[in-house]
Amino acid sequence: RKGVYSHFMRKEIDEQPTSLRQTIEGRIGDEAALDAFPPGALADVETVVFVACGTSYHAAMYGSVLLRRRGIFATAMRANEFAHDPTPLSDRTLVVAVTQSGETADTLASLRVANASPARTLAVTNVIGSSAAREADDAVFIRAGPEIGVAATKTFSSQVATLSLFANRLECDGAGIGTALGREEIGDRDTAVGLDASADRDTAANSDRSADSDAAEGTIAARRATDGGTVSDAMRALPDDVATVVADDGAARLAERYTDADSYFFIGRGVGYPVALEGALKFKEITYEHAEGFAAGELKHGPLALVTPSTVVVAVFTGRDDERTLHNVREAQSRGAPIVGVGPESATEVRDAVDQYLSFPDTDPELAGILANVHLQLLAYHAAEIRDRAIDKPRNLAKSVTVE
Ligand code: F6R
């Protein structure tokens, strides 16, 4: 039932604080089990291959970034490619099928290929009793509740949150064969929020400034240093942080402002890259406007040729590597493109550099992509509403794609 809402999509966007609470309940912390996986259960996993389609593929990509940052070799493949051209698989490979419905034919075909190999398989799905849940060796449920709108919204957030918990479980279990390059830097993920993070780090390393004096400055870095905060703390705060974004009317204003662009480009790096792809997918799917997502650093390798004053560039910032993304933004800005930044509240340097800014509460950069994405869901929703599109049932699309 839509109730007071005119579309299921809008209802499902608004439901995200609740659906995320369901997703994470009882699953946070080093000793927490994740459905089939008690501590230690994933110790012998060396490599992880995600297979998925569409929005679920973007969540899978996001998950693969989180695993690589933990020293675990991980890759995400589109299921329609993997099913007919799989990567090499061994008994130390875990193939993870990410699928909201658990019935997507391409994803099931990939799962069957993996089941016929020595690899172990896992379904990450929303639907208990779905084909994916039944056919994989194990299943983890994202607990988002039913999603009616064809455009996936709350299930993306719950997929990413689940994959973040899964990444922590794998890391605690000692999975993987490698050491993440720049692991030291990754250790800083708890402190790297906003453009000043590296400066903060340097200062902290080079002086005996106490955590307490950092705290006086009120930075997230300081909060973490004093209360021992981790990704887990950020995860606990996530439902409330999402509620803040859902209550923000910034995306509605921007949808009104940019109605006549030729194209909408979405860019990001790290976990911001899959979020850029997802932002573009949602936008094209329900507005029927031309939208594309790119890795921010890829713009100059071709797409920049398309950038004009009629290209709106939406740039995702997570509080990690933001200087680099800002550099890519300037490449587009100097061609006259209006820039919409989506990033943490405290990233003042970003805010000052872009034309419009949609902010979200400061959080761990690994989870920032979830918050940024909620703004992008709202941007697509309002842009589609202005154009009077069939938001819950976009033309040519179905909720569950059961043919290959
Ligand atoms: C886009 C969307 C689709 C699905 C894709 C996979 O908004 O919903 O791209 O994500 O068809 O579906 P599932 O997750 O059910 O395998």
Instruction: Give the pLDDT confidence of 117-171 residue by residue, as tens digits.
Output: 999 999 999 999 999 999 999 999 999 999 999 999 999 999 999 999 999 999 9
Atom 7 of ligand 1, nearest CA residue: 151
Residue 400: predicted pLDDT: 86
Catalytic pick among 282, 300, 393, 399: 399
Ligand 1 pocket, residues with Cβ under 6 angstroms = 53-56, 99-101, 104, 107, 151-152, 281, 285, 400-401
Give the tokens for residue 385.
Answer: 């509403």
Q: For this complex, say whether ipTM is above 0.90.
A: yes
The secondary structure of 258-324 as a DSSP string is --S-SEEEEEE-TTHHHHHHHHHHHHHHHH-S-EEEEEGGGGGGTGGGG--TTEEEEEE--SSSHHH
Q: What is the mean pLDDT of the chain?
A: 90
Residue 200: predicted pLDDT: 41
Residue type, 159: Q
Phi-psi region for residue 214, left (φ > 0), alpha (ψ -120 to 50) or beta? alpha
| CA 143 to centroid of ligand 1, rounded, Å | 16
Three-state DSSP class for residue 14: helix
Lowest average pLDDT, out of 149-158, 178-187, 291-300, goes to 178-187
Residue 194 has pLDDT above 90, yes or no: no
pLDDT tens sequence across 303-359: 999 999 999 999 999 999 999 999 999 999 999 999 999 999 999 999 999 999 999
| CA 101 to centroid of ligand 1, rounded, Å | 8
Q: What percent of the chain has pLDDT over 70?
A: 87
For residues 335 and 282, the answer to whether their CB atoms sit within 8 Å is no
Residue 73: predicted pLDDT: 96
Average pLDDT over every residue of 17-32: 96
Residue 179: predicted pLDDT: 67
Location of structure tokens 């990509």:
61
399 tagged catalytic: yes
Residue to probe by mutation, ligand 1, list 7, 8, 98, 101, most atoms within 8 Å of CB: 101
Which atom of ligand 1 is nearest the CA belonging to 55? Answer: 10
Residue 229: predicted pLDDT: 64
Residue to probe by mutation, ligand 1, list 104, 163, 285, 400, most atoms within 8 Å of CB: 104
When computed from its CA atoms, the radius of gyration of the chain, rounded to whole angstroms, is: 20
